[in-house]
Amino acid sequence: MNESEAQGAADRPVYLVEPWCVREPELRLDRLAQSESVFALSNGHLGIRGNLDEGEPHGLPGTYLNSFYEQRPLPQAEAAYGYPESGQTVINVTNGKVIRLLVDDEPFDVRYGRVHHHERVLDLRAGTLTRHVEWTSPADRRVKITSTRMVSLTQRAVAAICYDVEPVDAAVRVVAQSELVANEALPGGGRDPRASAILESPLVSEEHVANGTKVLLLHRTRKSGLRMAAGMSHHIEGPESMAVDTESSPDVGRLTVATRLEPGQRLRIVKYLAYGWSSQRSRPALHDQVVGALAGARQTGWDGLLAEQREYLDEFWCGADVEVDGDAEIQQAVRFSLFHVLQAGARAERRMIPAKGLTGPGYDGHTFWDTETFVLPVLTYTSPGAAADALGWRHMTLPLAVERAAQLGLDGAAFPWRTIRGHECSGYWPAGTAAFHINADISDAVVRYVDATCDERFEREVGVEVVVATARLWRSLGHHDVGGVFRIDGVTGPDEYSAVVDNNVYTNLMARRNLEAAADMAMRHPDLADRLGVTNEEAASWRDAAAAMLIPYDDRLGVHPQNENFTNHARWDFGGTKPELYPLLLNFPYFDLYRKQVVKQADLVLALHLCGEAFTEEQKVRDFEYYEGLTVRDSSLSAQTQAVVAAEVGQLDLAHDYLGETALLDLHDLNHNTRDGLHIASMAGAWNGLVAGFGGMRAGGGRLRFAPRLPGGISRLAFRMRYRDNRLRVNVTAEAATYQLLEGPGLKLWHHGEEFTLADEPIELPIKPVTARPTPGQPSGREPSSRRTL
């Protein structure tokens, strides 16, 4: 490729814009790692990155099992009480994706010979990744290769690959090698703290077996003591004269198929994969579990697995699809995002949802508050069972959270800032330990799920205990001052550029909601309250603290300060900060950030969204405008919240701009770190920006409310969602919104404050024009890209 051709390739989009798939029309080695994340497949239990079948070249190999980790030390420059001594890092487990091919002794490698055609397609309705290649070897032998892979959403332990090879114009001798590979070499990490730690050879072999077309490898981790098994089995179709052989060693299992193909003939290998892990089950038990999963997959067959996958996704899209007219990129992005959000939690089953899902090792595979605040709202209204499972995992880790609170001298539960199995893994306490708001975020997710589903069993078995434990934390962490006001001092809010502050507005409002919810649940379930030792006096103290909660307000500026004294700080010199110095955390000391008015991510503005009832309409307008001028969006979590609130205060075109940023973050690799895995919370922001933003959807207390309005760049928005055994569709144009009940008994809804009952017949209601206001400015150089120039 000459220089002009290379420049032309670089200028072309990596993925074509299509409504129901992500298509890569040519292989871009410079974007290989990004595509491996974009094309990752997962079901919440097992995740495989979109590496090429032959394994090389690669950007970052990756196969992950949810919550399967290795321990590593967390060295501190100075030891102090309460610091965690070890961390947890997700590891790349046994790779079953590899199928190597030799054509007349020449290894198939896209870096050699000639690639005539290379296309990959992620089908969002079929749940498959398909690859089409036509390649001529250095010895001038031309073949077509087609592979389709899936991670089953119905058979939790199973993945499968269908691999076809055909000669194009002459007979060829082909050898295919299907492998299981443990302890793959990984590229080194950089200086970005958002990337992962690299652990070399974390797996120790315990067993390897080859039998017929099956191979099984069992390993355990060196330090965390976890055990895993991976197995593969094959169905092979081809000429009668095939030679098939299997072998195994501690870290490699291999099936080799050799044959000669005439034009018109085909070699097909269907590879079934199964994975399992446990911290308690024995080696024989795991062995049998994987053998059983393989048997189930083979009995279902390739076509059966595809049919099950399509049926599962059809049911999901029936209650989750979003249609966007006027912005084709957003249309593709929101379905792509919903697909990956579903994959992250569909079959997690009492496991966490990591910040990267199972698409890459970024953030060491940890989960944060992102899950409860941004991801679970999407799942609650589209796939509520997945939301319940994620919250069930929090409940399972509650004893560790109680233990952590006691270590910190507090009552109740202190859930970890970042973790895999429930232990605190953040070594930086101002942003970690002090970010207590995660406890209210978890409580809020519990309350949201119960409200949306009326799942009383969940509330009794999971919800009450979590909400009570977190309420006890706030009553212990805060205090009534001499004037009777309830204060929560020395905490870190969502904005990590302000740490260890007094009375963060978001934290205090969410804590107030947590305290009120705990008192309400104790009243609804007196038997459980009695079992948890909740007295009438304690419940009353929760209500007293909530009623007396301090919510700072700056009368001079007429805005809410993010926390006490925030608006008295000097403003950051945005004009003097060069674009290449963002994100600021990689180029400036935290000391300087902490004492200036500069906001990493929406904090006070997040309070406007999630606790909107605490603000007047005028306060929302003024607060949003003020914080627009301070927020630099060095966090991928920010744009979606700014989109939602911008839409609420009538800044519809600005909301559209922010929606583009959150929805296209990974497809366009806007932060240049998609290689480490997708930003699952930002992907959830595509749905949040459209449904909560332009749909104006808010829910709580049995009330489902909408206040839809569209920007000029979107002519129609339609979305489906689930609420209290109802499945409904909302269709929005510039002039009106139509509400339709697709399934269920019917319900009361609110449209721009007007109550109505939705039953058998669709209801159309008019939308009043928005009040025009000047567009607020952003820090110099940090304006979102305009969608109006498309």
**In the chain, domain spans:** 3-317, 320-766
pLDDT of res. 753? 96
Is 170:144 a contact under the CB 8 Å cutoff? no
Kindly give the pairing relationship between strand 16-17 and strand 158-167: unpaired
- Read off φ and ψ for residue 70, nearest 5 degrees: -120, 150
Residue 65 pairs in a beta bridge with 46
Handedness of CA 771, 773, 779, 785 (dihedral sign): positive
Residue 30 and residue 1: Cα distance in Å, rounded? 14
CATH number of 3-317: 2.70.98.40
**Do 320-766 and 3-317 have the same topology in CATH?**
no
pLDDT of res. 177? 98
Q: Is 264 helix (H, G, I), strand (E, B) or coil?
A: coil
What's 309-378 look like in SS3?
HHHHHHHHHHCCCEEEECCHHHHHHHHHHHHHHHHHHCCCCCCCCCCCCCCCCHHHHCECCHHHHHHHHH
Q: Can you tell me which residue has the tokens 């979606």? A: 640
Q: Can you tell me which residue has the tokens 């700056």? A: 554
pLDDT of res. 12? 79
Residue 655 and residue 260: Cα distance in Å, rounded? 59
Residue 496 and residue 471: Cα distance in Å, rounded? 23
pLDDT of res. 2? 47
Handedness of CA 93, 94, 98, 104 (dihedral sign): positive
Phi-psi region of 702 (alpha: psi -120 to 50; beta: other; left: phi over 0): left
Residue 101 pairs in a beta bridge with 176
Residue 82: partners with Cβ closer than 8 Å, 6 or more residues away: 407, 408, 429, 433
The architecture in CATH of the region 320-766 reads Alpha/alpha barrel (1.50)
Residue 724 and residue 375: Cα distance in Å, rounded? 19
Q: Which residues are known catalytic residues?
A: 496
DSSP string, 653-715: HHHHHHHHHHHTTTTTTTTS-GGG---HHHHHHHHIIIIIIIS--EEETTEEEE-----TT-S
Is 770:651 a contact under the CB 8 Å cutoff? no
DSSP string, 455-472: -HHHIIIIIHHHHHHHHH
Residue 427 and residue 663: Cα distance in Å, rounded? 31
DSSP string, 76-136: -SS--TT--SEEEEE----B---EEEEETTEEP-TTSSEEEEEEEEEETTTTEEEEEEEEE
Residue 623: partners with Cβ closer than 8 Å, 6 or more residues away: 559, 560, 604, 605, 608, 615
- Read off φ and ψ for residue 735, nearest 5 degrees: -100, -30
- Which stretches of the chain score pLDDT less than 50? 1-4, 194
Residue 63 pairs in a beta bridge with 48
pLDDT of res. 76? 66
Residue 597 and residue 573: Cα distance in Å, rounded? 9
Residue ranges for the known binding site for substrate are 369-370, 600-601
Residue 529 and residue 516: Cα distance in Å, rounded? 14
pLDDT of res. 75? 66
Is 162:128 a contact under the CB 8 Å cutoff? no
User: How big is the chain, counted in residues?
Assistant: 790
Question: Which two structure tokens, joined as six digits, stand for 159?
Answer: 């993945």
pLDDT of res. 688? 98
pLDDT of res. 1? 46
Residue 239 and residue 107: Cα distance in Å, rounded? 21
Handedness of CA 579, 584, 588, 592 (dihedral sign): positive
Residue 57 preceded by cis peptide, ω within 30: yes
Residue 376 and residue 364: Cα distance in Å, rounded? 21
Determine the Cα angle at 554 with ends 559 and 783, to 5°.
Answer: 35
